[in-house]
Structure 1
Amino acid sequence: MAVSEVKICNLALRKLGARLIESLSDSSQEAVTCNLFYEQVRDAVLREHPWNFAASRARLAKLVDAPAFGFAFQYQLPVDCLHLRQLSGAEDEFVVEGDKILTSIDSASAVYTVKVTNPVLFDPSFVMAFSARLAAEMADDITGSTTKAREMWTLYLNAMQAARLADSAEGREDSILNDPWLEARGIHGEDSPVWGR
């Protein structure tokens, strides 16, 4: 069965021991709560890791006006950009201000995270992390239990750890070796047994 918005919501609801929904247009509390949180949680989880399935590259549109100070050029942020990962080179300095990218790089290109809305395109490990975060965010409204909410946050952090390791192993090992999020969780790049050589 293909991944869908309803399926992701039902994964979250199942973790909470709540009733499943048949449609996001249901009038049930579960469906209303899923509708309230779904898009915001999806975008938040997309921003938290440079997911391979959500990566995109583009040549940036330079704007006529230069920044008032600090940088030589400014570019328009792509409309589908959720998180700017890097410019033309990994060491290129930039800052995002509103919907503009400020940098001193001429003719800049960007690697960024796209706002992926079609669940069919989601990586399976992203689906598990997303559904766990959705459960964590909805737990108080659905169950009224702060204990359940804490359980779901722990589940989410564990799901994200597994997802980051799996996703970063596909051509992005260098970025995970120095990932401060993983270091805070006790995984130290080349020192970890996962990265034994």
Structure 2
Amino acid sequence: MANIVTSQTRIANRAFILLGSTERIDSVNDPSPLALQVKDLWHESRRQILVAHPWNCAIRRARLDRAGSVPAFGYSAQFLLPSDNLRWLPWVTGDCEWFEGEEEGGFILSNEAGPLNIRYIADIEDVTAWSAHVQLLMAYRLAWDLCESATQISGNVDEARIAYEGQDGRGGYLAEARRLDGMATGRRANDSARAGSRWLDGYAGGRRPPGVW
């Protein structure tokens, strides 16, 4: 299995290449200013890409038992989400696992007796467990974040952003990564990332927040 630090270093150096920079690091654990900047940005950049789409490599399943405490009002029960949860993926209405509920404060609130069977995006820190397109997406995201950072790495911020997320709904590696990931998804009609969630469907008359797939 590939070494985690080596894989992180390769992703960071790919980000420098995408920026057109000749800078390189030998390891993300180097004490050099550039490596330290990568480490400062890594955690949030990683979480940004993981929540951007229900990547197959980051989806996990869990069975949640009813918590001892109950909500102050509105629901009769609450269920503690896994500690590595980044984003709950509600079931589609009509699915055999579907239930009515909403996420608040690290819990799912519901009137169900439980246990609840859920799918969610996990906070996967081991980049060697990511698919190749998610690793490359991390390089694009890191390039954008490094371009905005205090190191002033050469590269235009707008160009880095467009390379990552595209413009006017077109282009950008994020769209390509989503397409590649979708090709490995068997239940395409069951779009659990979109339906059955008040959080996703309740924004401003049904409009989803920016960056949510």
TM-score > 0.5, shorter chain as reference: yes
Residue 126 of structure 1 and its aligned partner are, at CA, apart by 0.8
Letter of the aligned partner of 1:168 in structure 2?
Answer: G
Corresponding residue for residue 163 of structure 1: 177
Letter of the aligned partner of 1:171 in structure 2?
Answer: G
Corresponding residue for residue 147 of structure 2: 139
Corresponding residue for residue 113 of structure 2: 106
Letter of the aligned partner of 2:14 in structure 1?
Answer: L
Distance 1:105 1:39, change over 3 A: same
Q: Could you tell me whether the CA contact under 8 Å between 1:16 and 1:143 is conserved in 2?
A: no
Q: Which runs of 5+ in 2 are unaligned?
A: 166-171, 201-207, 209-213
Residue 27 of structure 1 and its aligned partner are, at CA, apart by 2.8
Corresponding residue for residue 191 of structure 1: none
> Which whole-Å CA distance do the structure 2 matches of 1:96 and 1:20 have between them?
42
Corresponding residue for residue 193 of structure 1: none
- 1:64 is paired with a residue whose SS is coil
- 1:90-101 matches, within 5 Å, as 91-101=98-108
Letter of the aligned partner of 1:9 in structure 2?
Answer: A
> Which whole-Å CA distance do the structure 1 matches of 2:48 and 2:96 have between them?
25
- 1:10-21 matches, within 5 Å, as 10-18=13-21, 19-21=23-25
Corresponding residue for residue 55 of structure 1: 59
1:84 aligns with 2:99: no
Residue 168 of structure 1 and its aligned partner are, at CA, apart by 1.7
- 2:108 is paired with a residue whose SS is strand
Q: Could you tell me whether the CA contact under 8 Å between 1:140 and 1:149 is conserved in 2?
A: yes
Higher RCO (CA 8 Å, separation ≥ 6 residues): 2
Q: Could you tell me whether the CA contact under 8 Å between 2:146 and 2:153 is conserved in 1?
A: no
Letter of the aligned partner of 2:10 in structure 1?
Answer: K
User: Which structure has the highest helix share of the two?
Assistant: 1
Q: Could you tell me whether the CA contact under 8 Å between 1:49 and 1:164 is conserved in 2?
A: yes
What percent identity do the matched residue pairs reach? Answer: 28
- 1:143 is paired with a residue whose SS is coil
Q: Could you tell me whether the CA contact under 8 Å between 2:9 and 2:27 is conserved in 1?
A: yes
Residue 90 of structure 1 and its aligned partner are, at CA, apart by 6.5
Letter of the aligned partner of 1:95 in structure 2?
Answer: E
Q: Could you tell me whether the CA contact under 8 Å between 1:4 and 1:120 is conserved in 2?
A: yes
Superposition TM-score, scaled by structure 1 size: 0.81
Distance 1:17 1:53, change over 3 A: same
> Which whole-Å CA distance do the structure 2 matches of 1:55 and 1:77 have between them?
14
1:37 aligns with 2:23: no
Superposition TM-score, scaled by structure 2 size: 0.75
- 2:86 is paired with a residue whose SS is strand
Corresponding residue for residue 10 of structure 2: 7
Distance 1:89 1:148, change over 3 A: farther
> Which whole-Å CA distance do the structure 2 matches of 1:89 and 1:165 have between them?
27
Corresponding residue for residue 189 of structure 1: none
Corresponding residue for residue 115 of structure 1: 123
Q: Could you tell me whether the CA contact under 8 Å between 2:57 and 2:129 is conserved in 1?
A: yes
Count of residues paired in the alignment? 179
